[in-house]
Amino acid sequence: MKFDAPATQNPIDQLKVVGKSTDRIDGPLKTTGRAPYAYERHDVAANQAYGFVVGAAIAKGTIRSFDLVDARAAPGVLSIITTLDYEPLPLGGQNTANLFGGAKIQHYHQAIALVVAETFEQARAAASLIQVDYAREDGKFDLEREAARAKPVPDEDETNEAGDFAASYARSEVKLDQRYSTPDESHAMMEPHATIAAWEGEKLTVWTSNQMIAWGKRDLARALSLKPEQVRLDSPYVGGGFGGKLFLRADVVLAALGARTVGRAVKVALTRPLMINNTTHRPATLQHIRIGANRDGRILAISHESISGNLPDGEPETAVQQTRLFYAGESREVSMKLAQLDLPEGNAMRAPGEAPGLMALEIAMDEMAEKLGLDPVEFRILNDTQVDPMKPERPFSARHFVECLRTGAERFGWQKRKATPGSVREGRWLIGMGVAGGFRNNQLTRSAARVRLSRDGKITVETDMTDIGTGTYTIIAQTAAEMMGVDLDDVIVKLGDSDFPASAGSGGQWGAANSTAGVYAACIKMRHQVATRLGLNNADVIFSEGEVRSGDRALPLRNAAHDGELVAEDGIDYADDFADRAQQSTFAGHFVKVAVDAFTGETRIRRMLAVCDAGRILNPKSARSQVIGAMTMGAGAALMEELVVDKRFGFFVNHDLAGYEVPVHADIPHQDVIFLDTTDPWSTPMKAKGVGELGICGVGAAIANAIYNATGVRLRDYPMTLDKHLSRLPKPA
């Protein structure tokens, strides 16, 4: 189905099932431990052996040789493969670091060997006996030191300048010029990267934990020099990814190589240190923001520069992308620079670009509001825009940012905030409120599905879309139930199998809207088949309560499959110029109240509120879960999360969940989420947009701004740990 014009009235608009708060249909499986995750697929292949991955103990250099004598003699060992046994495997389109093969070491804990044994313990014990002779080389591990040598990265798909920034900034009556930083961060998902691999002749099947099945199949075939039809990925349940499982990783490749070597199924899971150093992370940024405005508060000029680091041929953290679009202003310039580092690969993590970019921009907006003597909410409202500031001829498809701010301010009690920092105390606690805007672009990508109607009237949906804990099973079932006029219990959803039609996949906040639109398209084709089979007029046919109605005729839906199952397959595809005709984005207003201990500097979050504008919300219950999860990640980024770099040897020191701190229940108060009752016909036939990453965008800055309001100490370097402001806090009363 080609989608080349804004959606009009369609069957989804009935909202009998879609748009209702619905329990997750996979909930009973997960709460009882019956949902099969990758490492637990004991039933899919017999006689599974265990693989243990060995990571490089240097960050840069080469391997001269391995001594495997003791390891091979260890109990239970079936085989050991090393990186010297293979040429470097071909990389997938999104991979930067070599996954396996060759003597060259690009980063610490790069996979260099796999031990396969009868048990996990035997494989791990044998791996500890491997001796490696390295030739270490000096590396670059310090972003601040390498920043001066960072090279500009032009964004060929975007305009980077509008107007004359220098002239507009020069004549601005009020100016801001500040620098901000964000650290390296880990995805820290609960389920590790894990795979079971088995061969049948030249056909490879992997049961794995992966967000993007079609990408995984393509890249695994490339890595192993197989034809795509020789590879099958199966990933029905994913225990979190946040971008860390978008791309092919070493566990998949090594499980496949190990299984081929020993001639039986092999299972591999990465340990937590390997998850952090071997896979990907969110890169650190150094950001420079300048804003110029007239005394009335209207912005004239915005400049945003970001420097990040990555391996050679890696990509930058695109922290400037929201600054192109978020606020009005006659002139702006954005730029990115990339420093070459020999740290583990930097790549996508929840809201790549906007999450760290807004951590800086929204502090800068707060600082600018103070310079102008304006309320931070009103300053943002004053500089709202309904068109793309870089391309004024292109309007936003739907933008209700002002409503997010107004609604949030009213619900949060913003009028009670004291504008003078450090003026509210509760005993030893300094109390403050902060606000920040949230922004995340809505991305359109093709997605397909197959729909089956069986003789008993049941609807089965098949698509390689994944459920990474987001509630995908449920919203796809809701979509099919709405389209085909059946109860939710009459829909069976099958996900995560590369033998199914290729979907949008789970990533970039594009999964929900695009995957359900693909199901919508398949259901439209199925509705046509049903009407034809039943001899009904397709133009006025209605599907409701298990029946198909046209005029004064009403027939059971199951009658259409009386002579055999009906199957329909289709997908949503977007016109090439669709994104050029209207800018699609999502918006939020984030409000936070904090308390800072005047004696210790400890920060405690008291309240959090997010007001989101993301088009139609398909399932408010699971959408709320997505947003509060993202808000929690935003709190972690603001107050505690930081991968600490050993700048001598080039690795992340705190590479486990004991040293890499993430929020726990005691850190997070009650969180409120409000979804504006809006639709966006430009998005998809569902009139919905993504919301799972919007919830993190702006949260860190809202917390930072609340800390400033509480203490009068402005922090610009994340995470905002107590050591960064303790000496500057107001003296206890």
463, 570: one domain: yes
Is 565 a catalytic site residue? no
453, 551: one domain: yes
DSSP label at residue 463: E
Q: Is 598 left (phi over 0), alpha (psi -120 to 50) or beta?
A: alpha
Give the rounded percent of residues in the chain with a pLDDT score beyond 90.
97
Whether the pLDDT of residue 61 is over 80: the answer is yes
pLDDT digits 0-9 by tens, 498-546: 999 999 999 999 999 999 999 999 999 999 999 999 999 999 999 999 9
CA angle, 509 then 641 then 287, to 5°: 75
115 within some domain: no
pLDDT score of 159: 79
Residue 509 sits in a domain whose CATH number is 3.30.365.10
Per the prediction, the chain carries an average pLDDT of: 97
Give the rounded percent of residues in the chain with a pLDDT score beyond 70.
100
Q: Domain range holding 679?
A: 377-442+584-728
- pTM (whole model) above 0.95: yes
698, 603: one domain: yes
The average pLDDT across 144-163 equals: 90
The average pLDDT across 236-243 equals: 98
Q: Where are the alpha helices (DSSP H) in 441-546?
A: 472-484, 511-534
597, 655: one domain: yes
Total structural domains within the chain: 2
The average pLDDT across 401-418 equals: 98
**Structure tokens, 731:** 């003296």
Of 521, 550, 579, the last residue of a domain is: 579
Tell me which amino acid residue 642 is: E
Secondary structure of residue 516 in the 3-state scheme: helix
**What is the spatial distance between Cα 635 and Cα 655, in angstroms, rounded to a whole number?**
20
**Structure tokens, 512:** 């929900």
Give φ, ψ of 166 to 5 degrees: -55, -45
- The distance of Cα 282 from the centroid of its chain, to the nearest Å, equals 11
531, 643: one domain: no
478 within some domain: yes
709 within some domain: yes
pLDDT score of 155: 72
Beta-carbon contacts of residue 421 (< 8 Å; ≥ 6 apart): 432, 708, 709, 710, 711, 712
Whether the pLDDT of residue 156 is over 80: the answer is no
Q: pLDDT-based confidence at 414, cuts 50/70/90?
A: very high
538, 410: one domain: no
Exposure class string for 124-149: b at 16+ Cβ within 10 A, else e: ebbbebbebebeeeebbbbbeebeee
Dihedral angle of Cα 327, 328, 329, 335, to the nearest 10 degrees: 40
The average pLDDT across 61-76 equals: 98
634, 720: one domain: yes
721, 604: one domain: yes
pLDDT digits 0-9 by tens, 5-14: 999 999 999 9
pLDDT digits 0-9 by tens, 178-235: 999 999 999 999 999 999 999 999 999 999 999 999 999 999 999 999 999 999 999 9
What pairs with residue 135 in β-bridges? Answer: 62
Among 191, 462, 641, 693, which one carries the catalytic annotation? 693
533, 409: one domain: no
- Taking the CA atoms of 627, 269, 114 and 255 in sequence, report the sign of the dihedral they define: negative
287 within some domain: no
pLDDT digits 0-9 by tens, 429-478: 999 999 999 999 999 999 999 999 999 999 999 999 999 999 999 999 99
Please tell me whether the peptide bond between 719 and the residue prior to it is cis, using omega within 30 degrees of 0: yes
Whether the pLDDT of residue 277 is over 80: the answer is yes
pLDDT digits 0-9 by tens, 290-300: 999 999 999 99
Classify residue 172 by burial, with Cβ atoms within 10 Å: 0-12, 13-18, 19+. Answer: buried
Give φ, ψ of 309 to 5 degrees: -125, 155
The average pLDDT across 149-157 equals: 86
Of 549, 579, 609, the last residue of a domain is: 579
pLDDT score of 706: 98
pLDDT score of 59: 98
629, 656: one domain: yes
